[in-house]
């Protein structure tokens, strides 16, 4: 199946399991509206689903630790899917269901910036993308890649969490 197309799925069906070369951390979904028999409506926040790509397990761990388990008090735990190969990123992004993609711009063989540009051009309704750059001066490359935001190394935990929260909020998922 070409990139950017999806096989039809039954209502409420979850995308297939993680592709080859991935590590699963926790996974859930964003807000659920519940209406009671008395007509009361309540909104239950659902966990943001974030796809994290880096060929370096240490970078993936640093990102998860910097962002934290949840975006704020009373919020559900973030669901992370860690992937280590470009093919796994494309397959997972094309399957859909992600609220945010975090891509390592310094990954070997296929960096996150080139991958971001490919996803933005080929995946229908591509979710927001946060690119992790090697240095602050790489902001122009992140702009070329069509990334929604970029965070330079070394990671500032506060800036990284703020960027994640801002992108999720702008996408209407927080």
**Sorting pLDDT into bands at 50, 70 and 90, what band is 14?**
very low
Question: Is pLDDT of 20 > 80?
Answer: no
Arithmetic mean of pLDDT, 1-26: 47
- pLDDT (0 to 100) of residue 9: 42
Cα–chain center distance at 87: 15
Q: Identify which of 167, 134, 157, 165 has the alpha carbon closest to the alpha carbon of residue 65.
A: 157
Q: CB-side exposure of 159: number of CA atoms within 13 Å?
A: 12
Q: Quick check: pTM over 0.85?
A: no
Angle at 158 between CA 153 and CA 159, to 5 degrees: 50
Q: Which residues pair with 37 in a beta bridge?
A: none
Question: Is pLDDT of 28 > 50?
Answer: no
Q: Which residues pair with 150 in a beta bridge?
A: 131
Average pLDDT over the chain reads: 83
Domains and CATH numbers, the chain: 49-171 (3.40.50.2300)
pLDDT tens-place string over residues 101-122:
999 999 988 999 999 999 999 9
Question: Is pLDDT of 78 > 80?
Answer: yes
């Amino acid at each position: 199946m070409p990139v950017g197309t999806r096989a039809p799925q039954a209502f409420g069906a979850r995308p297939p399991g993680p592709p080859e070369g991935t590590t699963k951390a926790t996974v859930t979904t964003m807000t659920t509206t519940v209406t009671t028999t008395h007509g009361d409506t309540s909104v239950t926040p659902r966990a943001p689903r974030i796809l994290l790509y880096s060929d370096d397990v240490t970078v993936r761990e640093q990102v998860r630790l910097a962002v934290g388990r949840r975006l704020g008090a009373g919020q559900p735990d973030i669901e992370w899917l860690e992937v280590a190969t470009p093919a796994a990123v494309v397959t997972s992004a094309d399957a859909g269901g992600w609220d945010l993609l975090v891509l390592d711009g310094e990954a070997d063989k296929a960096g996150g910036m080139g991958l971001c540009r490919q996803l933005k051009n080929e995946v229908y309704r591509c979710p927001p993308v946060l690119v992790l750059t090697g240095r602050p001066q790489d902001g122009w490359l992140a702009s070329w890649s069509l990334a929604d935001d970029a965070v330079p190394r070394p990671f500032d935990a506060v800036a990284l969490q703020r960027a994640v929260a801002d992108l999720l909020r702008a996408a209407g998922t927080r």
